[in-house]
Amino acid sequence: MAIRVAIVDGTGPAVGYDKAMEKSFCHVLSLQLGSAANYQRGPNAMGMETLPEAARAFGWCVTEYARDPSVQIMLVGYSRGGSAVIMAAEQLEGIGVPVHSMFLFDPVARHPYPGGEVIPGNVAFSRIARRDQSLAFVMKYEGTLSDSKKLGDSSNPCRPFFGNTGLNWRGVGDHQTPSVFKGSHGALGGVGWRFVTEDAACQMQVSAWMGQQMRSRGLMANLGPGFLDPTPPEKPATATRLAGQALDAGLLAKSALVRIGSGWSGL
């Protein structure tokens, strides 16, 4: 039976995206599938492309399903791309198109649009790989990554405020709570950091686990080891680092139950 896979990758750099995401799990999968896949790069830093990319994934799936109603539609997404493919599934549900399988790499819903948070009832099977958000692991890397040198702010490769989406579902499909892996948000998509000492092993674990889940659904995937960004960590001033740690610790403690229990999508 034919398989068609719509893939939306995660957010990456505005310049040099193709190179930076060349070995992401989503991109590697798209190359292996060739014309059986529809690959889109991830949304930008503000997430404004999330809904348009969901609409394009939806349109491609509708075309493939109309051509052959026996085709097995699968959706794959990383980071904001995970929320985009959930949106696409919601749109497909609205016209009665079933989704055979959904595979999400650390999905987040950091965008201004409604939807893209609950896996809809037309999805028969889903599996999610999620980053470890334990306080000790997150604090280990606080202040090591600068997202905006112009603004002078420091950040964390564990992305503690991204939260996760897709943690809840409707219907009676085969769904599970996410499998958790100790690594940065980048590592969960195959594009981690060399200075995050857990990322190399994390990428291999995610690749092996998700590859097995895909193969169990007839999607013959070899996601590979991913890529580790060699950029060294930032070294922010001690006062800035400590202030960031205090803020993160307080907010993490307050939000942990909400984030884990309800699929809260972060700030």
CATH number, position 226? 3.40.50
Low-confidence ranges of the chain (pLDDT < 70): 147-154, 235-267
Q: What's the total number of domains in the chain?
A: 1
Residue 41 lies in a domain: yes
Residue ranges making up the domain that contains 53: 3-132+164-230
User: Rounded to whole angstroms, how far apart are CA atoms 133 and 130?
Assistant: 9
Pairing of strands 153-155, 168-169: unpaired
Q: What percent of the chain has pLDDT over 70?
A: 85
Q: What is the DSSP string of 126-174?
A: EEEEEE---HHHHHHTTT-EEEETTTTEEE-TT-TTS-----EE-SSSB
User: Rounded to whole angstroms, how far apart are CA atoms 125 and 214?
Assistant: 10
Q: How confident is the model over 24-45, as pLDDT tens digits? A: 999 999 999 999 999 999 988 8
User: Rounded to whole angstroms, how far apart are CA atoms 27 and 41?
Assistant: 8
Residue 13 lies in a domain: yes
Residue 242 lies in a domain: no
- CB neighbours (10 Å) of residue 114? 10
Q: How confident is the model over 131-153, as pLDDT tens digits? A: 999 999 999 998 888 765 433 44
User: Rounded to whole angstroms, how far apart are CA atoms 185 and 78?
Assistant: 10
Residue 185 lies in a domain: yes
CA angle 146, 147, 150 (to 5 degrees): 85
